């Protein structure tokens, strides 16, 4: 009370006690109003946050619903959104070269883009064609011939002339070529750059190392894999060896950084999927190798059935078997680069080609096509409007390029 009176005399010398009480009441009201204002602001902000969260949740739910509908949407036909005329020589074969079309025969080869424009043309005379592909790069040689033509989708890279007859060849996306050359009792495994300069060479003897039955270069050209077939104490064996032509391989004998031997098995096919993954298919086993420096075995799968076909991309490898189910023609087993089995899928059509997308695969022949996701959902199962020689993706999802006898058609499924 004494302090209150002192305050009164000091700050309100001419006022009354009622004035002082009124002052404090007004002050309390002002403070309450400020508190109420702050609470309103806080409530408004919380409401705004809740609205944003609600909108975001609704948008996420809508996107998820659209994704599910898109994933389960089934296409029943297609529209031809563009077409350009083309001419094809009798006996010529069309294959995919990156996003372009490589057409080759015994008389020559040429490359055409999806707009029908010819990017290069190469003439030659080859009786028994040996073709190797890697991405948008191709190497064309003649079995027992001496010339190898190297080109990509943009143009010709060079011609390699060998000193001995060519028996097999492989090419990297960078344009490097490894060829198996025949000598009297020796096979030479020589690696060249696209201009024809010899980079590496080695020998394979039937009585020691064995004969190279399959070869493959990594896309960057740094790794080479060779499957050697040999006989050891009367037993047929295959050795799969990996060579590293980069700095790592210089500290190893003959650049061989890893190898494995398989008894009673022939390995007719070995391929690099990308710079760090390769696979080999024997008559009873699939082997997947990983590693960009010193490859190791990531997975092995044994099988008793005969492999009908092998297809691969930089992400998947698929083996086609005759179906054990009488209700289906074939079974496609798909594996990824980690060596995991992605799935097994029934095929009820005769196919001329199978290729992989990021989350699906396409099987087709001249008259019909089936597209299935890795989840087993059939997105399209129908016929073409006219006979198709080659089908390839056109960039966008479910948009493709169809190469026919007289046209290049870009289609969109609907």
pLDDT band at 45 (very low <50, low <70, confident <90, very high): confident
Instruction: Tell me the per-residue pLDDT of 376-407, one tens digit each, with 9 for 90 and over.
Output: 999 999 999 999 999 999 987 799 999 999 99
Q: Give the 3-state secondary structure of residue 234.
A: coil
The answer to whether residue 60 sits within a structural domain is: yes
Instruction: Tell me the per-residue pLDDT of 313-325, one tens digit each, with 9 for 90 and over.
Output: 999 999 999 999 8
pLDDT at 71: 62
Domain span including residue 48: 15-71
The answer to whether residue 173 sits within a structural domain is: no
Greater confidence (275 vs 25) lies with: 275
Q: Residue 286 pLDDT more than 60?
A: yes
The answer to whether residue 23 sits within a structural domain is: yes
Cα 84 to its chain centre, rounded Å, is 28
pLDDT at 38: 72
Instruction: Tell me the per-residue pLDDT of 66-102, one tens digit each, with 9 for 90 and over.
Output: 555 556 689 999 999 999 999 888 899 999 999 999 9
Sign of CA dihedral 403, 407, 412, 414: negative
Beta strands 296-302 and 177-182, pairing class: unpaired
Q: Residue 111 pLDDT more than 70?
A: yes
The answer to whether residue 360 sits within a structural domain is: no
Q: Residue 20 pLDDT more than 90?
A: no
The answer to whether residue 396 sits within a structural domain is: no
Tally of structural domains, the chain: 1
The answer to whether residue 333 sits within a structural domain is: no
To 10 degrees, the CA torsion angle through 233, 234, 237, 239? 40
The answer to whether residue 214 sits within a structural domain is: no
Whether residue 164 contacts residue 188, with contact meaning beta carbons closer than 8 Å, is answered with: yes
The answer to whether residue 44 sits within a structural domain is: yes
pLDDT band at 112 (very low <50, low <70, confident <90, very high): very high
């Amino acid at each position: 009370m004494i302090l209150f009176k002192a305050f009164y005399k000091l700050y309100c010398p001419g006022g009354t006690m009622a004035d002082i009480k009124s002052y404090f009441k007004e002050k309390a009201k002002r403070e309450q109003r400020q508190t109420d204002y702050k609470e309103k602001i806080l409530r408004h902000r919380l409401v705004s946050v809740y609205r944003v969260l609600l909108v975001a949740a609704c948008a996420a739910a809508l996107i998820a619903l659209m994704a599910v509908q898109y994933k389960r949407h089934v296409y029943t036909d297609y529209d031809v959104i563009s077409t350009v005329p083309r001419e094809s020589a009798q006996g010529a074969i069309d294959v995919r070269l990156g996003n372009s079309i490589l057409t080759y025969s015994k008389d020559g080869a040429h490359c055409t883009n999806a707009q029908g424009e010819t990017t290069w043309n190469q003439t030659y005379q080859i009786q028994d064609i040996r073709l190797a592909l890697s991405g948008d790069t191709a190497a064309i040689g003649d079995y027992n011939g001496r010339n190898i033509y190297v080109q990509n989708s943009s143009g010709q890279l060079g011609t390699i002339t060998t000193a001995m007859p060519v028996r097999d060849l492989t090419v990297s996306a960078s344009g490097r070529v490894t060829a198996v050359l025949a000598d009297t009792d020796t096979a030479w495994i020589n690696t060249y750059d696209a201009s024809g300069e010899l980079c590496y060479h080695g020998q394979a003897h039937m009585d020691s190392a064995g004969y190279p039955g399959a070869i493959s270069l990594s896309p960057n050209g740094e790794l080479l894999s060779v499957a050697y077939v040999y006989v050891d104490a009367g037993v047929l064996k295959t050795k799969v060896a990996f060579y590293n032509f980069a700095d790592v391989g210089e500290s190893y004998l003959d650049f061989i950084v890893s190898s494995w031997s398989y008894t009673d098995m022939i390995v007719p096919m070995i391929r690099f999927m990308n710079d760090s993954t390769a696979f080999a298919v024997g008559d009873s086993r699939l082997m997947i190798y990983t590693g960009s420096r010193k490859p190791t075995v990531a997975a092995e799968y044994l099988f008793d059935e005969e492999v009908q076909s092998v297809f691969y991309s930089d992400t998947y490898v698929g083996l086609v078997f005759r179906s054990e189910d009488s209700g289906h023609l074939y079974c496609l087993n798909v594996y990824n680069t980690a060596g995991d089995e992605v799935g097994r899928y029934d095929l009820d059509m005769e196919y001329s080609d199978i290729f992989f997308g990021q989350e699906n695969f396409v099987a087709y022949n001249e008259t019909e096509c089936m597209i299935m996701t890795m989840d087993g959902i059939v997105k399209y199962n129908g016929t073409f409007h006219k006979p198709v020689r080659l089908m390839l993706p056109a960039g966008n999802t479910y948009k493709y390029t169809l190469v026919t006898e007289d046209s290049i058609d870009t289609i969109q499924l609907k």
